[in-house]
Amino acid sequence: MKEQTPSFRDLYLKSAVLSNPVLVQMVGLCPAVAATASVRCAVLISAALSLDLIVTCVLASVLMKRIPRAVRVALYLGIGLALLCPLLYFIETRTLMNLGQGTKVYLPLLAVNAVTALHCEKVAVKKPVRMAFLDAAAVSLGASIIFLIVGTLREVLGSGAFAGIDLDLPFTLKGLSLPFGCFILFGFLAAGLQAISPYLRQAQEEEPDAPAAQPQEADPQDDLWSDILEAEAASSERLAALDEFTERLIGGEEDAQ
Amino acid sequence: MKMISTLLITVLYTVFVQNLVMSAGLGMSEAIRLAAKPEKFRSLAIMISAFSVITGTICGALSRIPAIATLPFAGRAAVYGGVLAAVYLIAALLLGLLKPQDRRLRGTLGIAALNTLVYAVPFLNEFAAYSFAESFFSGLAAGAAFVLAAAVIGRGAKLLASNSNIPAIFRGSPALFLYVGLVSLGFLGFSGTALFQ
Amino acid sequence: MPDSATKRTEGAQKPSHVTALRLFGDYLLMLLVPTVLAVYYYGLRALAVVGVSVGAAVLTEAIFSAVLGRSYYVRDLTSLFSGLCIALMLPAGVPFYVPVAASAFAVAAVKMPLGGSGAPIMPAAAGFAFAAVCFRTEIFTYTLRAEQKLLGAQSLGALLGGGNAMRLNAANLMDVLGGNVAGPMGTGCGLLMLACGVYLLMRRPRALLATAGFLGACALWAAILPRSNGGVLTNIVLELCSGSLLFAAIFLVTDHATLPAARWHRVVYGALCGVLCMAMRRSGVFEEPVCFAIVLGNALRPVLESILPGGGQAQRKEARA
pLDDT digits (tens, 9 = 90+) for C261-316: 899 999 999 999 999 999 999 888 899 999 999 999 999 999 999 998 876 554 54
Residue A223 resides in a domain: no
Q: Does C63 touch chain A (CB under 8 A)?
A: no
pLDDT digits (tens, 9 = 90+) for B116-175: 999 999 998 988 888 888 999 999 999 999 999 999 999 999 889 888 888 888 988 899
- State whether A70 and B82 contact (CB < 8 Å): no
Phi (first) and psi of residue A165, to 5 degrees: -95, 125
Residue of B nearest to C14 (CA): B163
What is the rounded radius of gyration, in angstroms, for the C-alpha atoms of chain C? Answer: 19
CA distance A130 to C175: 77
Domain range for C237: 3-320
CATH number reported for the structural domain that contains residue C191 in this entry: 1.10.3430
Q: Among residues C46, C55, C70, which one has the least CA distance to residue C107?
A: C55
pLDDT of residue C18: 55
pLDDT at C300: 95
| Whole-number pLDDT of residue B184 | 94
Report if residue B175 sits inside a domain.
Answer: no
C20/A191 CB distance under 8 A: no
A243 lies in some domain:
no
Residues A170-228 have pLDDT tens digits of 888 888 888 999 999 999 999 999 998 888 888 777 764 444 434 343 333 333 334 33
Residue C105's contacts (CB-CB under 8 Å, 6 or more residues apart) are C126, C127, C130, C131
Q: Is residue A231 part of a domain?
A: no
The backbone torsions φ and ψ at residue C35, rounded to the nearest 5 degrees and listed phi first, read: -65, -45
3-state secondary structure labels for all residues of chain A: CCCCCCCHHHHHHHHHHHCCCCCCCCCCHHHHHHHCCCHHHHHHHHHHHHHHHHHHHHHHHHHCCCCCHHHHHHHHHHHHHHHHHHHHHHHHHHCCCCCCHHHHHHHHHHHHCHHHHHHHHHHHCCCCHHHHHHHHHHHHHHHHHHHHHHHHHHHHHHHCEECCEECCCCCCCHHHHCHHHHHHHHHHHHHHHHHHHHHHHHHHHHCCCCCCCCCCCCCHHHHHHHHHHHHHHHHHHHHHHHHHHHHHHHCCCCCCC
CB B23 within 8 A of CB B142: no
Instruction: Report how many domains make up chain C.
Output: 1
Q: Quick check: B33 contacting C, CB < 8 Å?
A: no
Q: How far is B168 from chain A (nearest CA, A)?
A: 8
ipTM of the complex as predicted: 0.92
Contact between A74 and B89 under an 8 Å Cβ cutoff? The reply is yes
**C168 — phi, psi (to 5°)?**
-85, 130
A239 within domain boundaries: no
pLDDT at B110: 85
Residues on chain B touching C110 (C-beta within 8 angstroms): 178, 182
The answer as to whether A249 is a domain residue is no
pLDDT tens for each residue of C145-189? 888 888 888 888 888 888 888 778 877 888 888 888 888 998 888
Question: Distance from first CA to last CA of chain B, Å, rounded?
Answer: 32
Q: Does residue A255 lie within any of the structural domains? A: no
Residue range(s) defining the domain that contains residue B81:
26-150
HEC letters along chain B = CHHHHHHHHHHHHHHHHCCHHHHHCCCHHHHHHHCCCHHHHHHHHHHHHHHHHHHHHHHHHHCCCHHHHCCCHHHHHHHHHHHHHHHHHHHHHHHHHHCCCCHHHHHHHHHHHCCHHHHHHHHHHHHHCCCHHHHHHHHHHHHHHHHHHHHHHHHHHHHHHCCCCCCHHHCCHHHHHHHHHHHHHHHHHHHCCCCCC
Asked if the Cβ–Cβ distance from A175 to C130 is below 8 Å, we say yes
In a domain, A226, yes or no: no
How far CA B85 is from CA of B51, B81, B114, in Å, comes to 11, 6, 8
Distance (Å, whole) CA C74 – CA C61: 7
C146: helix, strand or coil: helix
Report yes or no on A88 lying in a domain: yes
Domain count, chain A: 1
Residue A150 has what pLDDT? 93
Which of residues 178 through 197 in chain A touch C, CB cutoff 8 A? 178, 184, 187-188, 191
The total of other beta-carbon atoms located within 10 Å of residue C99's CB is 29
**To which H or E segment does residue C270 belong?**
helix C263-283
Domain total of chain B: 1
Please identify among residues 232-251 of chain A the ones whose CB lies closer than 8 Å to any CB of chain B: 232, 234-236, 238-239, 241-242, 245-246
Mutation target to probe the B interface, by most B beta carbons within 10 A, among A26, A87, A99, A200 is A26
User: Nearest CB to A256: which of C15, C21, C135?
Assistant: C15
